[in-house]
Amino acid sequence: MIFLYVYVHGNPPPLCLPANPGDKWADFKEVIRNMYKVNPDQVEMTHFDEPFQPQDDKTLAELGIRQKSLLKIKA
Amino acid sequence: MAKKKRGLKEEYNLLTRDLDWDPTFVTREEMYPYTDFEGIKIHNWNNLEDPFRVTVESYVRIQGEKERKFHAIRENIDLLQGQLDMTDARWLEAMKIFSSVALNGEYNAHRLFQFIARHVPSPAIRFAAITQSVDELRHVQNEVLLFNNYNKYYQGFHDWKNYAHRHWLTSVVKSFFEDAQSAGPFEALVAIAFGFEVAFTNLLFVTMGATAVANRDQSYGAVSFTTQSDESRHMTLGMMALRAMIEEDPDNIPIVQKFLDKWFWKAYRAFTVVGYILDYIAPKKVMSWKEAYEMYIEDQVLNGLFKDLEVYGIRKPKYWEQTVQEKEHNSHIAALVLYRLPHVLYFHPFAPTEEDKKWLAEKYPESWENIWSKKWEAFEDPNFDRLYPGLPMVCQTCQYPMFFDEPGQPGFNTAFRTSEHEGEVYHFCSDGCKDIFDDEPDKIKQAWLPPHEIFKGTCGPAEDLANYWGMEPEDGGDYYESVDHQNFEKWKKVRA
């Protein structure tokens, strides 16, 4: 298990979410959709401060997400 | 022939510093193993003096008098049955926060002073630290009795011990004291005597005490005044110790400066919740956080105390400009974020009333209309999903949820700072908190962060979390829907 932080701009504080590095992005993005009521397919995202454009069939680990990664979302 | 009465100075010497001895079975270094740990050089330990020259006899006599007066007042307040003269029971939400935060702080301060008394090889400091340790225990006991009184009539006062030790919010103050307790003896002294007592304690016991009295809560008024009478003694000793460290050796100055930078920032962050109490919770408000900050921190500490220390080469603490800038904003951010957490707090957050908003507009002309009133408007919209949907990310150092803004960009523009250590990333709310980590990463990396521990299962099953924190179902929720609010209104009518 890793912890991931998700911040939607203008909505402090960011959420701390547990995740499995083997989870597919397609599954994890549903957590974001439920928690923040945003459409994860139509937002601008950064991983830390790097642009982040995940593919649904990749795992979190394959996307470079690691322990305490920070995803920032501009909805 | 009648015995000659000893003078105060002779009495003090006989009963304190003359009780000191040079060890013969062990070396002095073995007896005081931490003296050199931080690099502070003291050439003559006798230069460290207790300005009050407290002896056991005078300490017991003076404290005994204070206790007698305090308990007489407290017992009378007990007869007031729920203090229905209070402006509103809403004030007690402040006391619930205080119950968990201050008790935790005072108890840990007692342990900290024991550590100082054991490890600073100056007889004057050691003796003064023992009396201060006893003071802190007295404060804890008086505060427990205060909550015992409130607990007869109001929710959220029944389990201060679990709130203080286990609740996610109190982890902020717990980590403050645990950091100080696990430092060397000189840093511990600066942390508590300067960071807490000289710099910030006035905000807690003077401003909040006056606010309690203005809201006709006699209990906290009495506690804060008897507590503050000890704090002023602690402040004087803290200043003496600080000056002695600075004057003893020029090599001490950069070390002391680093202590001051760290503990000013840590105490400043920890006190964020006091701004929330002054600006939002108090039904009748005496002073805004901004005004209190200007009076007690800017005038007395930044432009007063630090001005006096300039001649020694000590400058104002790092990031002081940011603290001055944030006085416009941080109480609002804290209130808005806490408003979204009524399900995981043992007090009742609420949105400001129309009367509160008028006062806030008057006190915060630069930020209320443009920024914070708009945020409240959005939060009070019936379509807004009030409950925060999970557990927040917290700062590795101060442990507040990450809600502080980027300096100079107020309005929910959350600041993020990170550091890498041994291949792991750590997150911070500010440069101040990041610097503290970067200076001692192997210490701060061990912080017990509540959201992580909850997910790891350390706090028991998720569905039983309220029980772990010591909460009853009525303790949380909005104030204006609470049993406390309903009872207060009902009892006032019955009495009228």
Cβ atoms of A40 and A29 within 8 Å: the answer is: yes
Those residues whose C-beta lies under 8 Å from the C-beta of residue A7, and which sit 6 or more positions away, are A14, A15, A70, A71, A72, A73, B393, B402, B414, B416
Please report the pLDDT score of residue B235 as a whole number. 86
- In this model, does residue B270 exceed pLDDT 90? yes
Q: Looking at residues B314-341, what average pLDDT do you find?
A: 98
The tens digit of pLDDT for each residue in A17-57 reads 999 999 999 999 999 999 988 999 999 999 999 999 999 99
* Domains along the sequence of chain A with CATH: 2-74 (3.10.20.90)
Question: Mind telling me how many Å the CA of B475 is from chain A's nearest CA?
Answer: 23
Residue-wise burial string across B455-476, b where 16 or more C-beta atoms lie within 10 A, e elsewhere: beeebeeeeebeebbbbeeebb
Q: Check B414 against A13: CB less than 8 A apart.
A: yes
Q: What is the DSSP letter of B131?
A: H
User: Which chain A residues have a beta carbon less than 8 Å from that of B416?
Assistant: 7, 70
pLDDT class of B1 with cuts at 50, 70, 90:
low
Q: Which of residues 40-59 of A touch B (CB under 8 A)?
A: 48
Spell out which chain B residues touch chain A, with contact meaning CB-CB distance below 8 angstroms.
333, 337, 385, 389-394, 401-403, 412-414, 416, 418, 424-427, 451-452, 455
Q: Check B403 against A36: CB less than 8 A apart.
A: no
Chain B residue at shortest CA distance from A16: B393
Q: Looking at residues B402-424, what average pLDDT do you find?
A: 98
Please report the pLDDT score of residue B287 as a whole number. 96
* Pick from B100-114, B227-241, B364-378: least confident: B227-241
Mutate: best of B272, B338, B383, B414, partner A, most A CBs <10 A: B414
- In this model, does residue B49 exceed pLDDT 80? no
- Please give the Cα distance from A52 to A32 (Å, whole number): 15
Please report the pLDDT score of residue B229 as a whole number. 85
- In this model, does residue B52 exceed pLDDT 80? no
Please report the pLDDT score of residue B231 as a whole number. 84
Find how far residue B220's CA is from the centre of its chain: 16
Q: Does A20 touch chain B if contact means CB atoms closer than 8 Å?
A: no
Q: Does A22 touch chain B if contact means CB atoms closer than 8 Å?
A: no
Mutate: best of B169, B339, B393, B406, partner A, most A CBs <10 A: B393
Chain B residue at shortest CA distance from A6: B393
Chain B residue at shortest CA distance from A35: B389
Chain B residue at shortest CA distance from A11: B412
* Pick from B68-77, B287-296, B482-491: least confident: B68-77
* Pick from B75-79, B380-384, B393-397: least confident: B75-79
- Please give the Cα distance from B59 to B63 (Å, whole number): 6
The complex's ipTM? 0.97
Widest CA span in chain B: 89
The tens digit of pLDDT for each residue in B192-238 reads 888 888 888 888 888 988 999 999 998 888 888 888 888 888 888 88
Instruction: Determine the CATH number of domain B10-495.
Output: 1.10.620.20
Please report the pLDDT score of residue B37 as a whole number. 93
Q: Check B390 against A35: CB less than 8 A apart.
A: yes
Give the three-class secondary structure for A32: helix
User: Which chain A residues have a beta carbon less than 8 Å from that of B392?
Assistant: 13-16
Chain B residue at shortest CA distance from A17: B391
Chain A residue at shortest CA distance from B375: A10
Q: Looking at residues B281-292, what average pLDDT do you find?
A: 97
Considering only residues B188 and B46, tell me which one the structure prediction assigns the higher pLDDT.
B188
Most confident residue range from A9-13, A36-40, B102-106? A9-13
Chain A residue at shortest CA distance from B420: A68
Q: Where are the domains of chain B?
A: 10-495
Q: Check A16 against B390: CB less than 8 A apart.
A: yes
Q: Check A13 against B427: CB less than 8 A apart.
A: no
Q: Does A1 touch chain B if contact means CB atoms closer than 8 Å?
A: yes
Among candidates B207, B363, B234, B211, which has minimal Cα distance to B292?
B207
Q: Check A67 against B424: CB less than 8 A apart.
A: yes
pLDDT class of B51 with cuts at 50, 70, 90:
confident
Among candidates B201, B275, B282, which has minimal Cα distance to B234?
B201
Among candidates B101, B97, B260, B120, which has minimal Cα distance to B193?
B260
Please report the pLDDT score of residue B495 as a whole number. 86
- Partnered with residue B483 across adjacent β-strands are none
In terms of pTM, does the model score above 0.90? yes
Chain B residue at shortest CA distance from A69: B425
- In this model, does residue B18 exceed pLDDT 80? no
The tens digit of pLDDT for each residue in B432-490 reads 999 999 999 999 999 999 999 999 999 999 889 999 999 998 999 999 999 999 999 99
- In this model, does residue B4 exceed pLDDT 80? no
Task: Using CB atoms, pick whichever of A3, A37, A70 lies closest to residue B452.
Answer: A3
Q: Check B394 against A16: CB less than 8 A apart.
A: yes
Task: Using CB atoms, pick whichever of B389, B393, B424 lies closest to residue A35.
Answer: B389
Size of interface A-B (CB pairs under 8 A): 67
pLDDT class of B496 with cuts at 50, 70, 90:
confident
User: Which chain A residues have a beta carbon less than 8 Å from that of B394?
Assistant: 13, 16
Which tokens in the block code for residue B473?
A: 């179902």
